[in-house]
Structure 1
């Protein structure tokens, strides 16, 4: 096999908040839609939501934590796992959507960039370690990995830290039932250069559908018609987003696999953005249909959505870290395994990459 410089995953870390939010947390909420309070009981609303999404619990950060704080925790774990000196990092790429937000407010702090805050907290003095943020919706961490691939394959970098971290609990509307889907968390991954000719990122594919679909995830006023604040909250068209993802994501994943010259049956695992359990299952079924296959392996798509919820950019790197550490029952990554990473989110963006461990 001809040797080629590639970006290989060498270390992972994550931070899962210990503040567990069950459905009971929303029993006293007042849910509205189109200015009218929903006429079902909260118990019915919560149960229906769980049936649709598979989400039973989610995690929120503690009052004193902000996004960059939990990102540092995940980053330290990844650096330790990779057994590297952080001063040797060439880039720190931080994927998020809402910066640092304090509890009780809605203001976004992105000055300086969160990557610079992480670099400061890690104590990295090397000025040649470049830190910057990317805003790419939920697929932000995957896009950061794609950028790391470019840096490493071009010879511009040998080690890149890619972080996905978010505190969505600070930007959700308590009067919007869709807010029950979102959670907080952080994941971090070290990519290093390899020239062994076998491992690392083999291919990727990304697309943006802005003209017709940018409005599926936006910022807007509270669902509560008498909300006295001027705050804007994250809003989504859940049904249309579901249809968009199921229709478009399978094709992008297949294109990434085709570029790598591998078949879906060669894949050991698919790590897909934990957005909605039912949606992810539908995406995978549609993907196999593209290959003319009706059945797929049972242990192909590890899921954490039921107990971690949707932490946006953090879902995939957190899932990867848990799998590598043997914390997702029935799933393991070993040398030679082909793993696909895929995501979809605000923009609307879709992306995927194929990696051999």
Structure 2
């Protein structure tokens, strides 16, 4: 027997407003054909004035708790991954805590952009296995529409808003076949800051800033880094790609997902893709895709699932779990 963080339930939330490529083309110099050909994206959700990172995170958390059959009071740890918090401080995780009516628990944010959810999962997993908590809400939530330059057609068409959440519980399980997180691997390389960043911040310009990206360079790094970390995490769990039932990757670009699958020799059918309907939701993309695939019945109990992502920094990481 061994101690693992077991996935009890998933949930997600999307803003009410859904924006298709055709609608976007009415205000941006682009077209549905241009966007689909280069990215695979067909639509995205954009937060309204009354929708925030914490409100979307709260809705996703409630859905995850319902799926797990738990009440908010059963949670003693909240880790929220986001690059678009409601405020500079306090952490948006504490707003989620208050929204859920939890009087006291550990709650904090993690900032690793698109890899944020993998970083949050790894932190929560270590805390649960170490005995610092029993049940955790791990959330990825973003309102990237707030930091987009809507005059830059090369970036504004790529992103959307949303939130995804999972509930993890510390359990004693069978080491060979038991459920739970089997391995995590994280990386960062800050030398590539200029390839994907926001040109502002409290300690530099005092402004929020806008997202800037050099897409082709990011694409090349993404394919190499994602395929490498997937191999690494599988090796850590004494598994091979043949053992994997599903890969749930960061939903940045369909071309990146296809290229990564080819590099690993994975069938495209084993890669969960939701980028066409959600676009790139940064830290929310992996839990959003995971929730979608569990709720539509693709991922079932006993399946081996790999989560992976790469984001600004660069940061990248992967987790392998038995659902």
TM range (shorter): over 0.9
SS in 1 for 2:114: coil
SS in 1 for 2:256: helix
SS in 2 for 1:195: strand
Q: Which residue, out of 162, 171, 178, partners 1:185?
A: 162
| CA root-mean-square deviation | 1.5
Map 1:157-306 onto structure 2 (within 5 A): 157-177=133-153, 178-197=155-174, 198-211=178-191, 213-220=192-199, 232-288=209-265, 296-306=266-276
**Deviation of the 1:131 alpha carbon:** 0.5
Distance of 1:30 and 1:317 partners within structure 2: 29
Q: How does the TM-score come out when normalised to structure 1?
A: 0.84
Match of 2:124 in 1: 148
The runs of 5 or more residues in structure 1 that have no matched partner are: 32-41, 101-108, 222-229, 289-295
Please say if residues 76 and 133 of structure 2, whose CA atoms lie closer than 8 Å, have aligned partners that are also in contact.
Answer: yes
Match of 2:98 in 1: 120
**Deviation of the 1:298 alpha carbon:** 4.3
**Deviation of the 1:214 alpha carbon:** 1.8
Q: Which residue, out of 270, 278, 281, partners 1:311?
A: 281
SS in 1 for 2:107: strand
Please say if residues 258 and 268 of structure 2, whose CA atoms lie closer than 8 Å, have aligned partners that are also in contact.
Answer: no
SS in 2 for 1:59: strand
Match of 1:37 in 2: none
Match of 1:5 in 2: 3
**Deviation of the 1:51 alpha carbon:** 0.4
Distance of 1:332 and 1:218 partners within structure 2: 34
Q: CA deviation digits over 1:217-276, x for unaligned, max 9?
A: 11238xxxxxxxx76211111100000111221111101000000110010000000000
Q: How does the TM-score come out when normalised to structure 2?
A: 0.93
Please say if residues 193 and 313 of structure 2, whose CA atoms lie closer than 8 Å, have aligned partners that are also in contact.
Answer: yes
Q: CA deviation digits over 1:302-343, x for unaligned, max 9?
A: 1111111111111111111111111xxxx5222221000000
2:114 paired with 1:138? yes
Distance 1:231 1:154, change over 3 A: closer
Q: Which residue, out of 88, 94, 118, partners 1:110?
A: 88
Q: Which residue, out of 328, 331, 344, partners 2:310?
A: 344
Give the structure with higher Rg (CA). Answer: 1
2:291 paired with 1:321? yes
Moved over 6 A (4+): none
Match of 2:203 in 1: none
Match of 1:103 in 2: none
